Chains A and B, each alone.
Chain A
Amino acid sequence: MRILVVEDDESLRRYLRAALVDRGFSIDEAACLDNAIGHVEGVPYDAVVLDLGLPDGDGLSLIETIRRVRGGLPVLVLTARDSIKDRVKGLDTGADDYLVKPFATEELVARIRALLRRPGHVLGTVLTAGNVTLDTVARNAAVAGNPVNLSRHEIATLEQLMRRQGRLVPKDILFDNVYGADGLPETNTIPVHVHHLRKQLAALQANVEIETHRGLGYLLVVPKETP
C-alpha cells in the first residue's frame, strides 16, 4: 500500500511517515503542491493524505488534478479549517474524507484503512474484523473459519459494517447499500437483519459486537484485546 503524504510542516510530516510506516504502508512525501503534482502523475498511489494550507497554493486544487489523472484515487484531507463551509467545500471538490488537526494517529490510520476497504480499492477481496471474515466476491462470511448461514441482505449489511469498522454506518447509507437505490422504504427490515446477524455471530463466538445507536445507525466494534 503506497501512500503520498502532502504536508508542509516538516515535523508533522516526519511523524506521519513514521506512524504509517510502522503500520506497513510505504510512504512518499511532498512538501508543496508542485512537488505533489509530480508525484501523483508519476506513481500509482493507493491513497493521498493531503494538507490544505500549502505554501504554493490551496490543496483543494490538487484534488482536481488527481480527479483528472486518477479518478478513483482516495484522498483524505488533513486541515486546520473546520467550519461547515470548509468541510462542504472540501467534500464537494472530491475529497473522500476530512480530518481536522489535531488528530489521533489511530484515527488517521483507521480512516485510511476505511478508504482502502472501499469497493474497487480493496485490501484483497476478503474483509476481516476480529475473527470474522467476509469474502466480498464469493459473498459468504465465516467466524474463525466456520461458515455463517446468512441471507443476501445480511451479507450486504455485514459488509457495510466491516468496511467502516469502528465507525458509524448511518442507517440511510446502510439502507441504500443493502437494498440499492431502488429499495422501497417498506422493505426496510435492517433492524431484523442486524438482530439475526448478532444472533448468528454470537452463536459461533465471534469476538465482534454490533452496536445499535437508535435513530442514527449501527457500528461494528472489535473489542480492544483482539486487534
Chain B
Amino acid sequence: MGWLFVHLRGAETIHARAGVFCELFDFFKDVAWTTPVIGIVTFIACAAGMRRHLQPLRQLSKQAERTAPGNGHKALRIDQAPSEVQPLVASVNTGFERLVEALEVQRRFTANAAHELRTPAAVVQAGLERLSPSNDVLVLRRETERMGRIVGQLLSLARLEGCNDVVRARLDAARIVRRAAEPLVDLASAAHVRLAFEVEQEPVQVLGTEEAITEIARNLVENAIGDAPANSEVTIGLSRRGLLSIADCGPGIPKDQRNRLFERFWRGSWSSRPGSGLGLAIVAEACQSIEATVQCLNTAGGGARFDVQFATGT
C-alpha cells in the first residue's frame, strides 16, 4: 500500500492519472482478487480444523454432564483432550474425585452411625419391655420401635447409595417379591390385614438386583399394610411384563401431595400413621439404581396404588 501511496503523490497530470488507474486495474486483476478468496478458504479451513480439534472436548463435556451422585463416576479421558486443555481436564478430574470421596465418606458415616445405633436401640427396647405398661411406657415403646425402623431404613438407603456400579442381572421377580412379602405376613396379621400375592405367570424375568427388588417390594408392602384399614386386603400384583402393582384399601394419596412423596423424611399431611418418611425414598433410590420406574396412583376404590415397572431388557 505504501508503494501505491507514493506513486499517487508523484502523479500530477491527467495522463499520469489515467496510467495510475490502468495500473490499479492491473493490480486488482493480477493480485488483489486472491485476497478475499484466500481469506474465505482460510476461514473455512480454520473452522473445520477447530471443529475437529475441539471434538474431543465436546465428548468430554458430554461425559462430564452425565456425572451425578450414584451413577458410577469415571474419570474424564485425559489422553483424548487437546494438549492445551489437558491440565484443565486433570484439575476437573481431581475435583470430581474429591467430591466422590466426600460423598462416599458421608454415606459410610450414615451406614456406620445407623449400624452402631442398633445395639443401643435394642437395649432401650428390651429395657422398656421390662417396665409395666403405663401410658408413658407405651408411648416410649412405640417411639423406640419407630427409631429402630428408621435406623434400619437409613442403613438400607446408605447401602443403595453405595452401589455405584450396579450390575443388573436377569432375575425372577416373582420369587424375590414373594420372599420379601412372606416375613410381612406377621405384620399384616397383627394389623388384621390380609396379604394377597397375585402373579400372572412364573417366573417373571426382569433386570435388577436382589437387594433393590427386595427393598422396593418390602417398603411398598409395609406402607400399604400401615395404610390399610382392619379386615381389608393388600394386593401385590405382578404381571408377566414385570409390572409390580401394590394396592391397599386405605384413604389413598391426594394428587397434590404425590410429587413430594419420594423425598426423604417427608410425611404427607393426609397420613396420621407414624412413619419415618424414608420408605418411599428407599423405593425411589432402589428404582433408580436398576432403571425401574415407580408411580403413585389411586385405585378405583380410592386406596393408594404404587406401580413399579421393572426393566425387562426385551
A in complex with B: yes
Cβ B152 vs Cβ A213 within 8 A: no
Q: Which of B125, B130, B183, B211 meets A84, CB within 8 Å?
A: B211
Q: Which residues of A contact B125 (CB under 8 A)?
A: 102-105
> Does A166 belong to the interface (CB within 8 Å)?
yes
Q: Which residues in window 141-197 of B have CB below 8 A to A?
A: 144-145, 147-148, 151-152, 155, 159, 178, 181-183, 185-186, 188-189, 194-197
| Complex Cα spacing A217 to B130, Å | 33
Q: Which of B121, B145, B155, B198 meets A82, CB within 8 Å?
A: B155
> Does B85 belong to the interface (CB within 8 Å)?
no
Q: Which residues in window 195-222 of A have CB below 8 A to B?
A: 211-217, 219, 221
- Given contacts A84-B214, A104-B145, A217-B182, whether A211 and B121 have CB atoms under 8 Å apart is no
> Does A18 belong to the interface (CB within 8 Å)?
yes
| Complex Cα spacing A84 to B183, Å | 14
- Given contacts A11-B127, A83-B159, whether A101 and B185 have CB atoms under 8 Å apart is no
> Does B199 belong to the interface (CB within 8 Å)?
yes
Mostly helix, strand, loop or mixed at chain B's interface? helix
User: How near does chain B come to A101, taking the closest CB pair, in angstroms?
Assistant: 4
Cβ A101 vs Cβ B122 within 8 A: yes
| Complex Cα spacing A212 to B195, Å | 8
- Closest B residue by C-beta to A80: B118
| Complex Cα spacing A143 to B121, Å | 41
User: How near does chain A come to B220, taking the closest CB pair, in angstroms?
Assistant: 15
| Complex Cα spacing A80 to B121, Å | 10
Q: Which of B121, B155, B186, B199 meets A215, CB within 8 Å?
A: B199
Q: Which of B119, B130, B188 meets A213, CB within 8 Å?
A: B188
Q: Which residues of B contact A100 (CB under 8 A)?
A: 118, 152
Q: Per-position contact with A for B281-297: 1 when CB-CB < 8 Å, else 0?
A: 00000000000000000
Q: How many residues of A contact B (CB 8 A)?
A: 33
> Does A9 belong to the interface (CB within 8 Å)?
yes
| Complex Cα spacing A18 to B126, Å | 10
Q: Which of A80, A104, A168, A217 meets B119, CB within 8 Å?
A: A80
> Does A16 belong to the interface (CB within 8 Å)?
yes
Cβ A105 vs Cβ B152 within 8 A: no
Q: Which residues of B contact A137 (CB under 8 A)?
A: none
User: How near does chain A come to B107, taking the closest CB pair, in angstroms?
Assistant: 14
| Complex Cα spacing A157 to B295, Å | 40
| Complex Cα spacing A80 to B199, Å | 33
Q: Which residues of B contact A84 (CB under 8 A)?
A: 210-211, 214
Q: Per-position contact with A for B126-144: 1 when CB-CB < 8 Å, else 0?
A: 1101100000000000001
- Sorting the interface of chain B by its residue count into under 10, 10 to 19, 20 to 34 or 35 or more gives 35 or more
Q: Which residues in window 194-220 of B have CB below 8 A to A?
A: 194-199, 210-211, 214
> Does B115 belong to the interface (CB within 8 Å)?
yes
Cβ A102 vs Cβ B144 within 8 A: yes
Q: Which residues in window 163-204 of A have CB below 8 A to B?
A: 166-168, 170
Cβ B127 vs Cβ A213 within 8 A: no
Q: Per-position contact with A for B96-107: 1 when CB-CB < 8 Å, else 0?
A: 000000000000
- Closest B residue by C-beta to A168: B185
Of the candidates B123, B151, B178, the one having the most CB atoms from chain A within 10 angstroms of its own CB is: B123
Cβ B119 vs Cβ A12 within 8 A: yes
- Closest A residue by C-beta to B234: A213
Q: Which of B121, B155, B182 meets A102, CB within 8 Å?
A: B121
Q: Which residues of B contact A126 (CB under 8 A)?
A: none
| Complex Cα spacing A15 to B119, Å | 12
- Given contacts A167-B186, A168-B186, whether A216 and B197 have CB atoms under 8 Å apart is yes
Question: What residues make up the interface of A, taking CB atoms closer than 8 Å to B?
Answer: 9, 11-12, 15-16, 18-19, 78, 80-84, 100-106, 166-168, 170, 211-217, 219, 221
**Pairs of residues from A and B, 7 with the lowest C-beta to C-beta distance, nearest first:** A215-B197, A15-B126, A214-B196, A102-B122, A80-B118, A102-B148, A168-B185
The 8 listed contacts between A and B (C-beta, < 8 Å) are: A19-B130, A80-B119, A100-B152, A101-B122, A102-B126, A104-B125, A104-B145, A214-B194
Question: Could you list 19 further interchain pairs (A-B, Cβ under 8 angstroms) beyond the known A12-B126, A102-B145?
Answer: A9-B122, A9-B123, A11-B123, A80-B119, A81-B115, A82-B155, A83-B159, A102-B125, A102-B147, A102-B148, A102-B151, A167-B185, A168-B182, A211-B189, A212-B194, A214-B197, A215-B198, A216-B182, A219-B185
